[in-house]
Structure 1
C-alpha cells in the first residue's frame, strides 16, 4: 500500500511588492511554517528589501508575474498562490495564468472592486477574493467613532468592542491586559474566571445604541455661512457705501421736503438702484441729492454686481475644491483618498456619518470621483496645513482619519489637527493615523496622546494569510499588535470532534466557539452559544473566534482522516 506523504514545509508563491505582501510573506514563513517565493519588480525597493531579509523567503525579480517568472518561482510545487498587487486588472491576468499553469491550486486574490472580484472567484476553482481596505476599514472607523463594531458573520448580529460600548452583557472577553507584575502583557481569549485581568475587548449580541440625531441648527445657517465664506471685504465696502448713500439721501430728502421718511426712502432706493428720474420741479437740494446718488450708484452698482457674480461662481466650485458649503458639526474628516481612504469613506457613509474628504491633489485618486458622486465635500490641499483642515471644518468635527500611504504625512496631519482650536461645546477630537510599522505606531501613541495609530496592512494580513491556508476566515478583530480571526470551519466525517460536546471546541487562549450552523436544518444558526453539552455532528459548521495558532489546530481537529496525513522528514 502506498502511503501519501507531504513536504515538511508547505510551499507558497506571493506576487506583490508592498506592505501587505511583506506581512503575508512573514506570516506564511513564520506562523504557518512555509517556504515562500515572492515575485516582485525589485528586491531593492523599500518593502522588497524587508521581504528579502525574511527567513525561508526567496525573491524572484520580474517586472510582472508572467509565465517565466511563475516557473522560476516553481509554481508546479506551490500549495497556494497569493496575488497581492493593488492592480485589479493585473491580478485578473495573473490569476488566469496561474490557473492555466496549475489548475485548481489554492488562489487568494486581492481586489478593490467587490463585484469584479466575486465574478472572478465564481469562475476560478478554489479561489478566494479579499479586499485589504475592506477588511481594515471597519476597525479603523470604529476607532474614529469610539464605538463597537459589527462582525462580518452572516446570520448573527455580533458586536465587538470595549465592555462599556456594548449595550448588554458580553458573552466573553476577547482580549485583556495582565498587570499582575506591573506589566501590561496582552492576553487573548482569557479564561472567564481570572479576576486579575483588565478586560479590554468583549463580544456581545446586543444591538448598538441608536445614532444621536443632528443637533439644533440656527435658521438660515447655510445662507449665513455662504455669505461669510464667499463675500470678500470689497463686497462689504461696496455694500457699506451703498447703505450710507441711501441713508444720507433719505435723511436729506425727508428734511427738505414735506414728505414722510418712508416715501423718501422709497424714492432714493429706486433712484439709486434703478437709475435717475429727473424732476425739474423739485427743490434744488433734492435735485443735488439725486445727482450725487446717481453718480455714486454708477460706480458702486457694477462693483457690487461683479463681486456677487464672483461669489456665486466660487460657491459652485466650493463642493468640488474648497470643502463644505454650509456649517457642519459631528462629522469625520478623512485625509487621503487612496484605497484605504475610499473604503473608510464608504463605511462612514453606510453608517450615515457626515464626512468631509481631503486630498493633496485633484489627480484622479480613486476616492475623489466616489466622494463627488455621493455628495461628499472635498477639500483639495495638503492636510498637514492648518488652513486646509479649517476649510474641512475640523474645529467642529468628531474625528480626523489620516489615511495617506505616507507615515510622516499622517503624523503631520495629526499634529496640524491639534493646532486648530475646537469650537465651544465640541468634545475632544479623536485622531486615527494609518502607520505601517507597529513599533513606530507604539512610539507615536506615546508622542501624541489621544491618537490611535494603526497599520491597515497589519489589520488585513492575518485574514489574507489565513485564507491562503483555507477559505473560512470571515473577519478579524485587532487588539494592539495581536489579531483574532473569526472563521467558519466545517466538520468532516470521522473528524476528531465528531460526537464530542460543544465545550470541547474551546481552548483557553486559542479558540472560543460562537455558534454552530446545522446544514440539515437549512443552515439555521444557534445565535446564542450552544449549550456546553450539545453534541457535534460531522456536517456542522463551527463559527469560532481564534488566534492563528488556534484556527490551525481547529482545522486539524475538524478535518477528515484523509486530510490527516503525517509529515515526513
Structure 2
C-alpha cells in the first residue's frame, strides 16, 4: 500500500493500514519542516515523525527504487515499520520510487484536488490494475474522475472488467467519511461504527449478565471478552497465566457456555428518544413576540400615553368634543393638520408638542416595519425551534462537515436544531429543504445557544471550522447542562487529546468526545484501499474484526451451503443477506439513490435462518478476523489477518 499526502490524514491512514489491516505501507510526505497548524497546511518532517511514533512503529526510509521489506504478521512476529519517503508532489518518478508499479493500492490524500488528480492519472498509467483511493472535495467532479480512471484501466487492459474490485477507483471526501462517526457520537457516544445499507452499526461491550437474567444478543454476538477485562489485577486483553483472551466470532454454544465473561454485540445506531413528525420539527409562522419585540411594545406604549395626554389636555383647554380633540391631536401628530396661527395659546402649545411626539414616532414605526419584515422573512426561509422541543441534537456549524452530519442525523429521524453565523453557509439550503430549525447568530453568544434550547438538548455537536469557537461553545453548554453529551471537531490531534482529558476530568459524569476529522476519516479511506467489499473494522481489545460484503458466486466456502455451514467460528460469520436486485447493488453496500434523488436502502436481511442455502446470485455481509478474511479472499500471507 502507498499513501501520498501532506497533512495528518495521510499519517493516520498509513497507521490504520499498518496497525489494523497489517499491510505493508510506504508513506510519501513533503520534506517541509514547517509546523503546519491549520487546515490545509503542509505537515513538517518532525510532525510526521512524531505522529508516526505515537500511532505506529518506528520509521524507515527505503532507498530509491526499493520496496519495503516483507511484513512478518504471523502470530507474535515482528511487525514491519512504515516506510517513509520525501516528495512534494506525486510525480511519475516519485510514484515509481514508492513502488506503485507493483503496489496493490494507492491513496492520494493531498489537500489540493488538482494535485490528487495529476497523481491519479500518472498512477493509472504506471499500473492499470492499481486500486486508487482519491481525496476530492468536489463531489460531482470526483464522480466523473472515478469513471474516467476506470475507463482508462479498461483501455489499458482490454480483458479487465471496470466493475471488478482489483482496479476500482474510489473518490472520498473528509466530510463524507467523518459524518457517520460524528453522527454516531451524538447518538450513541461511540465512533466504533460500520456503515452498511444506509445504517450505522456499532459494537457494544456488555458486562456479564446476573444470574437468572437473559442478555440481549443484539443482531449477533461478535466476541467474548477476555476473562481479565473486568479484573482490576489483569490488563485488558492480557494473556497472563490462567487468563482467557478474547474469543472472536464464537458460535451459539460457546456463547451459552461462557459464564462470567462480557460480550461484544452488534447493534444498529438509532434514536431511542421521542421522534417528532416533520411538520412539528419546526414551526413556520413568525410569533407576535418576534414581530413586536419588548422594546417596540414599550415605545408604542409611551407614544400612546403621550397622545392620550395631549388629547385630554386639548379637550380640557378648548370647547371641542373629546373625539374631535383626539382627531386634531392625531392630525398634529402626523403633521397634516392646519397650523394653529389664530388659535389660543394652549392650542398652539399642544400642537407644537404633538409635532415633537410625531417626530419621535416616525423612527419607531420604521423600526417596527423592518423588524416585522425580518421576522416574516426568517419564518418563511428558516424554521424556528418548536416550543417544547427536547431530546434533540444541537449542531453548530453548517459548513462542509456540518452539512454531511445533518444529512445523516435526519436519515436516522433524529431531531436536530442547527446554529450558524453565516446566513449564506453551504448547509442553509439543505436545512431549509429538510425543514430543520436553524438559529442564525454567533454560537459564542449566550442567547444563541439558549434559542437552540440547549438546556433540553440530548447532545451538542460543535463542528465549526474554528477550534476556539467549538471549545467556547462546549464550555458554555456544559455550564448550562453539566451532563450534556458533547462532541467537538478539532483540527489538531494533540489539542483534541488535551481538551478531551480536561473536559473528562472537569465533568466525569458526562460524555465528552473531541475528534479531529483526520482521525475520523482515516478508517473509511483505509477500508476503500482494502477494496470496496471491505465495509470497515471494529477493534475488540487488542484484536480487530473486519466487515465485508461478498458475492457468494466467488467463494466456494459459501456457495451451496447453509448459513450455519458457511460460518466458521473463530474465522468468519455470515451476518446478513443483501435482498436488493443485482442491478441495483452498489459495490460498497451503500444506500443507492432512486430516480427522485432520495437515498434508498439496499435491503439487508439480518435475521437469517440458519438453514437458508446460499445461492450464486446472493451477496452476504460477513464479519471476519484478519486471518479469516485473508483466507476468504485467497490472499494468503500477503493480506490482512
Tell me the TM-score normalised to structure 1 length: 0.73
Aligned counterparts, 1:184-195, within 5 A: 185=236, 192-193=255-256, 194=258
436-445 vs 84-93, which moves further: 436-445
The superposition leaves residues 271-303 of structure 1 with CA deviations (integer Å, 9 ceiling, x where unpaired) of 3135333568977645543332123323x1344
Q: Which runs of 5+ in 1 are unaligned?
A: 1-11
Distance 1:430 1:205, change over 3 A: closer
The superposition leaves residues 311-367 of structure 1 with CA deviations (integer Å, 9 ceiling, x where unpaired) of 579879989xxx9888775564433555433322343455574433346xx6x9xx9
Matched, 1:181 2:245: no
Aligned counterparts, 1:38-437, within 5 A: 38-42=27-31, 44=33, 45=43, 47-51=47-51, 53=53, 54-55=57-58, 56-125=81-150, 126=167, 127-145=169-187, 152-154=195-197, 170-173=218-221, 180-182=230-232, 185=236, 192-193=255-256, 194=258, 196=260, 202-203=266-267, 211-213=275-277, 222-228=287-293, 239=300, 241-256=302-317, 264-278=325-339, 285-298=346-359, 300-305=360-365, 307-308=367-368, 330=390, 332-336=393-397, 339-348=400-409, 351=413, 353-358=415-420, 368-371=425-428, 374-375=431-432, 377=438, 379=440, 381=442, 383=443, 386=446, 389=449, 394-395=454-455, 397-404=457-464, 410-419=470-479, 421=480, 429-434=484-489, 436=493
1:445 to 504, 516, 519: 504
Find the aligned partners of 1:505 and 1:379 in 2 and give their Cα distance.
55
Distance 1:207 1:418, change over 3 A: closer
Asked if 1 retains the 8 angstrom alpha-carbon contact of 2:580 and 2:603, the reply is: no
Matched, 1:555 2:629: yes
| Secondary structure, counterpart of 2:425 in structure 1 | helix
Distance 1:29 1:222, change over 3 A: same
1:527 to 605, 614, 624: 605
Asked if 2 retains the 8 angstrom alpha-carbon contact of 1:463 and 1:473, the reply is: no
Find the aligned partners of 2:456 and 2:139 in 1 and give their Cα distance.
34
- Structure 1 residue 431: Cα displacement: 1.7
Asked if 1 retains the 8 angstrom alpha-carbon contact of 2:535 and 2:548, the reply is: yes
Q: Which runs of 5+ in 2 are unaligned?
A: 34-42, 59-80, 151-166, 207-215, 238-245, 586-601
| Secondary structure, counterpart of 1:471 in structure 2 | coil
The superposition leaves residues 448-500 of structure 1 with CA deviations (integer Å, 9 ceiling, x where unpaired) of 34233153434432332232222213466689999865420234557445555
- Equivalences, count: 527
Find the aligned partners of 2:281 and 2:21 in 1 and give their Cα distance.
55
The superposition leaves residues 236-287 of structure 1 with CA deviations (integer Å, 9 ceiling, x where unpaired) of 7754542232121132244456777555444433431353335689776455
Matched, 1:24 2:13: yes
Distance 1:114 1:296, change over 3 A: closer
Asked if 1 retains the 8 angstrom alpha-carbon contact of 2:187 and 2:269, the reply is: no
- Structure 1 residue 207: Cα displacement: 10
- Structure 1 residue 411: Cα displacement: 3.7
Find the aligned partners of 1:174 and 1:510 in 2 and give their Cα distance.
11
- Structure 1 residue 35: Cα displacement: 3.1
- Structure 1 residue 13: Cα displacement: 1.1
Find the aligned partners of 1:464 and 1:30 in 2 and give their Cα distance.
14
- Structure 1 residue 226: Cα displacement: 4.8
Asked if 1 retains the 8 angstrom alpha-carbon contact of 2:396 and 2:462, the reply is: yes
Look up the match of 1:3: none
Find the aligned partners of 1:52 and 1:146 in 2 and give their Cα distance.
30
| Secondary structure, counterpart of 1:368 in structure 2 | coil
Aligned counterparts, 1:446-465, within 5 A: 446-449=505-508, 450-455=510-515, 456-465=517-526
- Structure 1 residue 536: Cα displacement: 4.2
Distance 1:352 1:287, change over 3 A: farther
- Structure 1 residue 391: Cα displacement: 7.0
Asked if 2 retains the 8 angstrom alpha-carbon contact of 1:151 and 1:475, the reply is: yes
| Secondary structure, counterpart of 1:60 in structure 2 | strand
Find the aligned partners of 1:30 and 1:242 in 2 and give their Cα distance.
74
Asked if 2 retains the 8 angstrom alpha-carbon contact of 1:462 and 1:485, the reply is: no
Find the aligned partners of 1:482 and 1:409 in 2 and give their Cα distance.
37
Find the aligned partners of 2:269 and 2:469 in 1 and give their Cα distance.
38
Find the aligned partners of 1:494 and 1:170 in 2 and give their Cα distance.
27
- Structure 1 residue 110: Cα displacement: 2.4
Tell me the TM-score normalised to structure 2 length: 0.66
Distance 1:525 1:73, change over 3 A: same
RMSD: 4.9
1:544 to 599, 602, 622: 622
| Secondary structure, counterpart of 1:212 in structure 2 | coil
Asked if 1 retains the 8 angstrom alpha-carbon contact of 2:579 and 2:605, the reply is: no
Asked if 2 retains the 8 angstrom alpha-carbon contact of 1:163 and 1:202, the reply is: no
